[in-house]
Amino acid sequence: MATMTISDADFDEKVLGTDDLVLVDFWAEWCGPCKQIAPALEEIASEMGDRVKVAKMNIDDNPNTPGKYGVRAIPTLMLFKNGEPAGTQVGVQSKSKLVDWINAS
């Protein structure tokens, strides 16, 4: 499964309205570290798609949701479990650390 793009308009439906574990990547086109972490997130989405959905939200196009969840720096990764925030990571992390983080949730 590939990453999915989400917006302020469908965040409630695709993230909060599901019982699935969802990893939301708050990012922006101009953010170098966001581009650095993107390949690892794509690999996680394809390798762990049965365990976690990976969603990407561009903060420039969708300012409401990041503001609601206190996103102050990017990349910010938030895990949602059963529609509730379950953890946050800020900054670039290695793929193995991200996998460990997901598996611990």
34 as an active site residue: the answer is: yes
44 as an active site residue: the answer is: no
Q: Which is catalytic among the residues 6, 22, 34, 52?
A: 34
Q: Which is catalytic among the residues 6, 31, 37, 54?
A: 31
Give me the residue label for tokens 């983080």.
101
Beta-sheet strand order (sheet of 53-58): 4-5, 53-58, 22-27, 76-81, 84-90
Q: Helix (H, G, I), strand (E, B), or coil: what is residue 87? A: strand
Which among 82, 105, 101 has a CA at the least distance from the CA of 16? 82
Q: Which residues are catalytic?
A: 31, 34
